[in-house]
Amino acid sequence: MSAAPSHTHALQYAFTAHLRDPAHAPAPADVEPRRMQVYRELVFANMESYISSNFPVIRSLYEDDAWDVLAHDFLREHQCHTPLFPEFGREFLRFLEARTEAGRGDAPFLLELAHYEWAELALALDEADIAAIAHDPAGDPVDGVPVMSPLACVLGYRYPVHHISPEFRPIEPGAEPTLLLLVRGRDDTVRFHEINALSALLLERLQANTEHSGRACLETLLAQYDAATAANLRDAGLAMLTELKEREAILGARV
């Protein structure tokens, strides 16, 4: 009775090993080569289609032959941690992380670009429900207590990932970090906004705040600067609170 499962497992392993790496793993002897070819093509096509659609900017950077090599490397080398299709993008990101650590010669910005594209996808799939969060949509984000959207996040990169394209492939990090605010609005559209360091710090403070007004949070932040600098930044910070509400990073104010 124990021989059958053992034989089945061995057959399944040989079958899938061949699908992942046909050049080095022979196909099971009792499977017709023509049928094996159909399975190989289907598995690769489905996998390649999924990473192409999840990472369209990265795909645009590769000629077809070079992309096929990268996609085959992913299929052959990476052991996925989950069978869930919504997590497939994260698996490709893990694959690129391993390549970066191994020094495989990828573009220096590739991993950051992959994280940026994955973050957009992850935010699009996030199940957080804005309607379930108690807030006054007409509330004042300056003198009220701002309520932050769970569908907003700040990302920081060394490279200007939101500008990378086939025509722009930076080889050196930018002089300043690239800070991006990603927001999924009430219409479920994910949008990005380039922000400065003050905005990023203010967002971080607001996300941890539950009882102070937006103005108070800003003043606490400005207290870290000298009086002249704080005075110059105050108007910009107050305007940013209103702008964050317009961008739906701030949903409104506490009731």
Region 90-105 average pLDDT: 95
Residue 12 has pLDDT above 90, yes or no: no
Quick one: tokens of 189? 């559209």
Instruction: Say how far apart CA 228 and CA 232 lie, in whole Å.
Output: 6
Residue 141 has pLDDT above 50, yes or no: yes
Burial of 145 (0-12, 13-18, 19+ CB in 10 A): buried
CB-based contacts of 151, cutoff 8 Å, min separation 6: 123, 126, 128, 130, 183, 184, 185
Quick one: pLDDT at residue 1? 42
Residue 5 has pLDDT above 70, yes or no: no
Quick one: pLDDT at residue 118? 96
148: nearest Cα among 253, 237, 20: 253
Residue 111: in which H helix or E strand, if any? Answer: helix 110-125
For residue 154, the cross-strand partners are 181
Residue 142 CA to its chain's centroid (Å)? 30
For residue 253, the cross-strand partners are 136, 146
For residue 195, the cross-strand partners are 179
CB-based contacts of 177, cutoff 8 Å, min separation 6: 156, 157, 158, 197
47-56 pLDDT, tens digit each: 999 999 999 9
Query: Could you give all domains of the chain from N- to C-terminal order, each with its CATH number?
Result: 1-106 (1.10.150), 134-255 (3.90.930.50)
Mean pLDDT, rounded, of the chain? 92
How far apart are the two ends of the chain, measured CA to CA in Å? 67
Quick one: pLDDT at residue 13? 81
Angle made by CA atoms 28, 32, 33, in degrees to the nearest 5: 85
Check: CB of residue 96 under 8 Å from CB of residue 77.
no
Residue-by-residue DSSP string for 119-170: HHHHHHH----GGGS--BTT--TTTS-EEE-TTEEEEEESS-GGG-BTTB--
179: nearest Cα among 152, 197, 153, 206: 197
142-197 pLDDT, tens digit each: 999 999 999 999 999 999 999 999 999 999 999 999 999 999 999 999 999 999 99
31-74 pLDDT, tens digit each: 788 888 898 899 899 899 999 999 999 999 999 999 999 999 99
pTM, two decimals, is 0.89
Residue 2 has pLDDT above 50, yes or no: no
Q: Average the pLDDT over each of 73-87, 112-126, 149-163 and give the range with the smallest value.
A: 73-87
213-251 pLDDT, tens digit each: 999 999 999 999 999 999 999 999 999 999 999 999 999
Residue 183: in which H helix or E strand, if any? Answer: strand 178-184
Residue 9 has pLDDT above 90, yes or no: no
Residue 80 has pLDDT above 90, yes or no: no
